[in-house]
Amino acid sequence: MGFSSMVKRVVVLGPESTGKSTLCEQLASHFNTSWVPEFARDYLLQRGARYNYDDLLYIAQQQIKLEDQYAEKLAECNPPTLLFIDTDLYVMKVWCEYVFGKCHSWILDQIAIRSYDLYLLCDTDLPWMKDELREYPDLKSRRELYYIYKDIMLNQPIPWINISGSYEHRLAKAVKVVDDLLIN
């Protein structure tokens, strides 16, 4: 699978427009390392915002491929370092189920075998920012999605923390929890 356990993987997840990409970029800069962008963004920007159920499987497969490429590069560093990941297969699962009411078995199987070191769950307390790919501007849908992610976090074994507040507060909280991860 090309899955290096020497690289500590920190996943940033949550509903759209909760600062995930910004936080990944800030954390990668702070810790002088890399972050994996969300494959879906570039894919949909090139192909158009319309997608179907099978597109989500392709996006999930490409996201994992991209993540593993970044991790393999970092595994060559001495010592190996951190990798921040904007979106993982839990996001793909939620996306499939929320939009289509079902999830590809490949995504579920990959969730079961992949391992991460920490999850940062971004809350919906940042203002929603419109862009051509975002689908749920209303706070009710965003909160519903947030609680779906929170339920997943509560029912999986990897440590996680809720990230909320201003961009500065989010970064400070995330840096502290990642520092704690590195110490242990």
Residue 16 confidence (pLDDT) above 50: yes
What token pair was written down for 116? 């991460």
- pLDDT score recorded for residue 76: 83
Sign of the alpha-carbon torsion through 82, 83, 85, 89: negative
Question: Nearest 5°: phi and psi at 13?
Answer: -140, 170
Give the CA distances from residue 61 to residues 19, 34, 116, 161, in Å, rounded to whole numbers and listed in that order. 23, 20, 17, 26
pTM for the whole thing?
Answer: 0.90
Q: Please give the Cα distance from 153 to 120 (Å, whole number).
A: 10
Q: Please give the Cα distance from 83 to 108 (Å, whole number).
A: 22
- pLDDT score recorded for residue 4: 46
- pLDDT score recorded for residue 41: 82
Residue 99 confidence (pLDDT) above 70: yes
Residue 3 confidence (pLDDT) above 50: no
Domain 8-183 class, CATH top level: alpha beta
What token pair was written down for 11? 């996943």
Q: Please give the Cα distance from 122 to 164 (Å, whole number).
A: 6
**Residue bearing the bigger pLDDT, 81 or 57:** 57
**Residue bearing the bigger pLDDT, 121 or 44:** 121
Paired strand residues for 160: 119
- pLDDT score recorded for residue 130: 60
Give the CA distances from residue 136 to residues 128, 130, 146, 157, 159, in Å, rounded to whole numbers and listed in that order. 9, 9, 12, 29, 28
Residue 49 confidence (pLDDT) above 80: no
**Residue bearing the bigger pLDDT, 74 or 162:** 162
Q: Please give the Cα distance from 44 to 24 (Å, whole number).
A: 20
Residue 141 confidence (pLDDT) above 80: yes
- Would you kindly state where each structural domain of the chain is located, as residue ranges? 8-183
Query: In this structure, are strands 118-122 and 34-36 parallel, antiparallel, or unpaired?
Result: unpaired
Q: Please give the Cα distance from 140 to 129 (Å, whole number).
A: 15
